[in-house]
Amino acid sequence: MTERTSTPNSFATLGEAANDYRPHVVVKFHDHVGFPYDESIGKFLDEKFLDTDPFWKLIRRRFPQLEMRPLCFSLTEGQIRELVSDATLDTPFKLPDYLSYYMAQVPEDGAHEELAKIYSEWKEFVELAYVDPPSGDPTVTPTALDILLANQAYLEPSPQGIDVRAAWGVNGGGGEGQSFVDVEQGWTLDHEDFKSHGITVMAGVNQDFSHRHGTAVLGIVCADEGVGQCVGIAPHVRSVRVVSHYYGNGLTDRYNAIMVGLAALRRGGVLLIEVQILDAVIGGRILSELPVEVLNAERAAIRLATKRGIVVVEAAGNAGKNLDALTDDFGNPALNRLDASFEETLAIMVGAPPFVDQSGRVLQTNFGNRIDCYAWGSQVVTTDSTNVAPFATNVYRNDFSGSSSAAAIVAGVALVVQGIQEARHNSHLDSRQMRDALVKNGAPPPAGAPLIGVMPDLQSIVPLI
């Protein structure tokens, strides 16, 4: 029997996942099989295998309404090839064939597990197949606070905060000249604190029920200086764009969203992944609130980004789980750096310290040796909106929480560091160099906290750039 794990320590709200989620199967063919990477893939397989191959014949007979399409459908085959050819950074991993990832959908409820199983048994051509789980915003359900926080204390000197004022007085320290992409699913982009950035949605649907989440993230990273009631860590960043991983009609495709985001960035750009996986089958259990790189396709997309020199910041998720003990859906250790089979992505994974909410619950993000950095995970002051139209454009909050707020803070730090690096040396740090700079110059977590890395200290980092 499949075990569903639910813990009182968990503090995600499943309502932040797409409420009309419709599953699909991720199919990874063996590298370089040479199948067409467009919507003719189903017709191609019919013509090539329907009369000769028992597995494809079984799939078509069992699922006559099967639809297949590339998993990355927003980029052309030529664009993907160009991205891969530009991925020249020396890394500890090799890239897969990005033209071998597809999605398969059928209209039958509950049939995708069977479909994935049949694909997985087609071993002559299929490397792996799995049901893609839903995903949501890696945040905390807001709770009332006894004291209204009137300032952004996470900006203060270490060990309380990241000491961003040590960078603002330095050329480039406001993120000048830098590019930023946020991957999640909803924002109020005409908020008064974002107007100077002219933010656009590059792909996907701007989800109503996630406007508050995305607006809070952008406020932490780049809220305009001197406009509203808060200021972003990198208020002078040159380019801000967003990508939604929701595409309407129940379709969630994080792989496509990450690929679109990385295609928009050059070396040194910062890609923030504000997503957590929900209801994934991991080691025979159904687990939620996990970082996206636990899944094969998302892990491959992140690797392409970091091999192209892009800095990737990834929320750790809010399940309160030890990622060292996590195994992926094929039974292999996936997120334990001490295991020989650990699959490096070079992304900067971010958690947050435990805190006690108003009801007395101790809430905790995921932890383990895979976590590189932490930052504030509760009572974060930032921009706010509403999740129903008309979306508020001039409101603020003091309760943003979880690995969502923490990852946004670290992404802001990365933009500040890149701004100074470019101003001083006319160059950029890649994701591994950025990770090293943040990890080696940070404050340890509070006493008694589990493994969540360090909180970056800009006062220590800036003199070393």
Q: Give residue-wise pLDDT tens across range 225-239.
A: 988 889 999 999 999
Give the C-alpha separation, 417 to 118, whole Å: 48
104 and 155 co-located in one domain: no
Residue 285: pLDDT above 80? Answer: no
- Residue 350 vs residue 340, higher pLDDT: 350
Q: pLDDT at position 141, please?
A: 59
With contact defined as beta carbons under 8 Å apart, do 191 and 215 qualify? yes
In sequence order, the 6+-apart residues with CB closer than 8 A to the CB of 76 are: none
CATH number of the CATH domain containing 293: 3.40.50.200
Can you give the residue range of the structural domain that contains 280? 136-464
144 and 125 co-located in one domain: no
Residue 315 lies in a domain: yes
Strands (E), 96-142: 101-105, 126-131, 135-136
Among the residue ranges 178-192, 212-226, 278-292, 339-353, the one predicted with the least confidence is 278-292
Residue 111 lies in a domain: yes
Residue 53 lies in a domain: yes
197 and 98 co-located in one domain: no
Q: pLDDT at position 151, please?
A: 75
> How does the average pLDDT of the chain come out, rounded?
91
- The 10s digit of each residue's pLDDT in 395-446 is 999 989 999 999 999 999 999 999 999 999 999 999 999 999 999 999 999 9
300 and 401 co-located in one domain: yes
Residue 249, Ramachandran bin (φ over 0: left; ψ between -120 and 50: alpha; else beta): left
Residue 5 lies in a domain: no
Residue 13: pLDDT above 60? Answer: no
Residue 465: pLDDT above 50? Answer: yes
Task: Tell me which residue of 450, 445, 464 sits closest to 159, measured CA to CA.
Answer: 445
Residue 351 lies in a domain: yes
With contact defined as beta carbons under 8 Å apart, do 261 and 243 qualify? yes
pTM: 0.94
Residue 17 lies in a domain: no
187 and 87 co-located in one domain: no
Confidence of residue 355 (pLDDT cuts 50, 70, 90): confident
Confidence of residue 327 (pLDDT cuts 50, 70, 90): confident
Task: Tell me which residue of 256, 1, 250 sits closest to 109, measured CA to CA.
Answer: 250
In sequence order, the 6+-apart residues with CB closer than 8 A to the CB of 205 are: 185, 244, 246, 247, 248
Task: Tell me which residue of 372, 380, 338, 378 sits closest to 454, measured CA to CA.
Answer: 372
Structural domains counted in the chain: 2
Residue 17: pLDDT above 90? Answer: no
With contact defined as beta carbons under 8 Å apart, do 288 and 275 qualify? no
Q: Report, in angstroms and rounded to the nearest whole number, the Rg of the chain calculated over CA atoms.
A: 21
Q: pLDDT at position 142, please?
A: 53
Q: pLDDT at position 15, please?
A: 34
Residue 6: pLDDT above 70? Answer: no
Q: Which domain-ending residue is among 131, 160, 179?
A: 131
86 and 217 co-located in one domain: no
Q: pLDDT at position 226, please?
A: 84
Residue 7: pLDDT above 60? Answer: no
Q: Which domain-ending residue is among 99, 131, 163?
A: 131
345 and 294 co-located in one domain: yes
Q: pLDDT at position 330, please?
A: 67
With contact defined as beta carbons under 8 Å apart, do 346 and 91 qualify? yes
Q: Which domain-ending residue is among 131, 164, 193?
A: 131
- Report the share of the chain in percent with pLDDT over 90: 81
102 and 142 co-located in one domain: no
The token pair at 210 is 């996630």
Q: pLDDT at position 429, please?
A: 98
Q: pLDDT at position 358, please?
A: 66
